[in-house]
Amino acid sequence: MGLAEFIFTIAVMTASVALAIDSMLPALQSIGKSFDIANANDAQLVIGVFLLGFGLSQIFFGSLSDAFGRRMVLLGGLAFFTLASFAASRSASFEALLALRFVQGIGAAAIRITTMAIVRDCFGGREMARVMSYVMIVFMIVPIVAPSLGQLVVVHASWHWIFILIGVIGAVLFTWALTRMRESLPHEERLSLSVGAVLSGFRTVLTNRITCGYMIGLTLFSAVICGYIVTVQQIFGEIYGLGEWLPIAFAGTAGGIAVANFANGFFVRRFGMRRISHAAMLLFTLLAAIGYALSLAGTPAFAISYLLFTILLMFFAVIATNFTAISLEPMGHLAGTATAITGFVSTTGGTLLGAGIGQLFNGTLQPLFGGFALFGLFTTLATLWAEQGKLFTHPGDKDGAHEHGGGHM
């Protein structure tokens, strides 16, 4: 498989997770009405529960992929994801839908963990950050088109057909992986699945200052994107009354993320992951604080809010991509376990924090901008701890030109 096909394949596999989230946005109101949900904020659970299943189960798939190889776990995850999608389309109650969304999230977690581990098997350091940036460009096409796709289905059929569509796509991806994907982890590099071996892997990950510090940052920025996704329908729909324009507005912010990832892929080799992500982190925190101050004075004009959200999400993209690469850099052959632990902590913690922000929705932008500012501040503190008080360059670098992992606690 050539580099272009490799990047496209990894991106499409990963994008199936985004499809399962973002295609739901226009359907939340319909789902709420379909099941007579009393509290409008509870419709957010269709996304939140998926993310919770996605986060909690990642802890298992890293160890499984380190022991049995990436390909087997990837195929199992795709099968699980596909079957849960078809089953969700036939949900008879809101509780059953949420249960199947949780199961669907488990399948998505296997896909995410194995694709990330495959990239880490094949690339390292700045090259990994560059490949991940290009993967994210293809990946970001899905959030741009998925809400429009979801709305098209809801307008012409019902929300049930969104799940059927996701199931069909899952089946196609399963066939693609079965015929095109090769194993990236040689037999001699596989780890035992014994409890001792797993605990040893966990200890290695959790006692590395760089991995831990950036994992905390990833958790807080997972909360950023979760908080945005679960409330965006209410913000654009209820506060600003966009109605059918919601998918277009969401596509614009997602497009900004794609542009940011492309720029990151272009500049990361020259400036390094830390300089770019640390600058984005500080600017994100400042801009979120400005947004919060504006929202305290009343609801800002749509143009101002939209510009703020777009720029903040561009910073988010740069931070998430580079923080992921930096956190995995010291892990080497433990890529599967490391990806699983960082994914488990960041996605689960981020989902709970982000969902908390969503439940605070009160018809204003204050909870979201205030949450963003706090997440940015605490990420800065975690990064300072990880880098032993020094931003923009790794303490072990003499000239800042080369980045490498290290720094055990």
Taking only the tens place, the pLDDT of each residue in 319-339 is 998 998 899 888 876 766 777
User: Which one is predicted more confidently, 269 or 51?
Assistant: 51
In this predicted structure, the answer to whether residue 403 has a pLDDT above a threshold of 60 is no
Q: How confident is the model over 358-394, as pLDDT tens digits?
A: 999 998 999 999 999 999 999 999 999 999 898 887 6
Quick check: 128 and 10 in contact, CB under 8 A?
A: no
Rounded Cα distance, 154 and 162, in Å: 8
State residue 197's pLDDT score.
Answer: 65
Rounded Cα distance, 340 and 350, in Å: 15
Q: Which domains are present in the chain?
A: 3-386 (1.20.1250.20)
Q: Which residue has the tokens 């994100």?
A: 284
State residue 310's pLDDT score.
Answer: 95
State residue 60's pLDDT score.
Answer: 83
State residue 336's pLDDT score.
Answer: 66
Q: How confident is the model over 102-112, as pLDDT tens digits?
A: 999 999 999 98
Q: How confident is the model at residue 404 (pLDDT cuts 50, 70, 90)?
A: very low
State residue 333's pLDDT score.
Answer: 67
Q: What is the DSSP string of 60-126?
A: HHHHHHHHH-HHHHHHHHHHHHHHHHHHHTT-SSHHHHHHHHHHHHHHHHHHHHHHHHHHHHH--HH
